[in-house]
Amino acid sequence: MALLSVFTPVLAVVLCLVIGFMLVKSRETETSSTSPSKTKGGTKGEKRPWVDQDLQDDTDTTAKEGDDDDGDWGDSTEEESLAHVPYSPLRYPEETMLQRSEEFYTLMNQRRSVRFISPEPVPREIINNVIRTAGTAPSGAHTEPWTFVVVSDPDMKHQIRLIVEEEEEMNYRQRMGEKWVQDLARLRTNWIKEYLDVAPYLILIFKQTYGILPNGKKKTHYYNEISVSISCGILLAALQNVGLVTVTSTPLNCGPKLRLLLKRPANEKLLMLLPVGYPASDATVPDLKRKHLDDIMLHM
pLDDT 10s digits, 221-264 = 999 999 999 999 999 999 999 999 999 988 778 899 999 999 99
Report the pLDDT value the prediction gives residue 59, as an integer from 0 to 100. Answer: 44
Please state which of the ranges 70-74, 89-93, 267-271 shows the lowest mean pLDDT: 70-74
Q: Is residue 5 part of a domain?
A: no
**Percentage of the chain lying above the pLDDT 90 cut:** 59
> Cα 132 from chain centroid?
19
Report the pLDDT value the prediction gives residue 25, as an integer from 0 to 100. Answer: 53
Q: Is residue 87 part of a domain?
A: no
Q: Which residues contact 169 (CB under 8 A, 6 or more apart)?
A: 191
Report the pLDDT value the prediction gives residue 60, as an integer from 0 to 100. Answer: 43
Amino acid at 13: V
Q: Is residue 14 part of a domain?
A: no
Q: Is residue 246 part of a domain?
A: yes
Report the pLDDT averaged over residues 80-104: 94
Q: How many domains does the chain have?
A: 1
Does the pTM exceed 0.85? no
Long-range contacts of 240-243 (CB under 8 A, 24+ apart): 240/107, 240/108, 240/110, 240/111, 241/107, 242/126, 242/129, 242/130, 243/278
Q: Is residue 36 part of a domain?
A: no
Report the pLDDT value the prediction gives residue 176, as an integer from 0 to 100. Answer: 62
Report the pLDDT value the prediction gives residue 73, as an integer from 0 to 100. Answer: 75
Q: Which residues contact 231 (CB under 8 A, 6 or more apart)?
A: 134, 135, 137, 139, 146, 205
Q: Is residue 83 part of a domain?
A: no
Report the pLDDT value the prediction gives residue 159, as an integer from 0 to 100. Answer: 97
Report the pLDDT value the prediction gives residue 22, as an integer from 0 to 100. Answer: 56
Report the pLDDT value the prediction gives residue 180, as an integer from 0 to 100. Answer: 63
Residue 273 has pLDDT above 90, yes or no: yes
Q: Is residue 59 part of a domain?
A: no
What confidence category does residue 193 fall into, taking pLDDT thresholds of 50, 70 and 90?
Answer: confident
Segments forming the whole domain that contains residue 182: 99-278
What confidence category does residue 17 fall into, taking pLDDT thresholds of 50, 70 and 90?
Answer: low
Q: Is residue 294 part of a domain?
A: no
Please state which of the ranges 29-33, 124-128, 135-139, 149-153 shows the lowest mean pLDDT: 29-33
Q: Give the mean pLDDT of the chain.
A: 81
Report the pLDDT value the prediction gives residue 35, as an integer from 0 to 100. Answer: 42
Long-range contacts of 46-49 (CB under 8 A, 24+ apart): 48/220
The CATH number given to whatever domain includes residue 188 is 3.40.109.10
Report the pLDDT value the prediction gives residue 43, as an integer from 0 to 100. Answer: 46
Report the pLDDT value the prediction gives residue 81, as an integer from 0 to 100. Answer: 81
Residue 67 has pLDDT above 70, yes or no: no
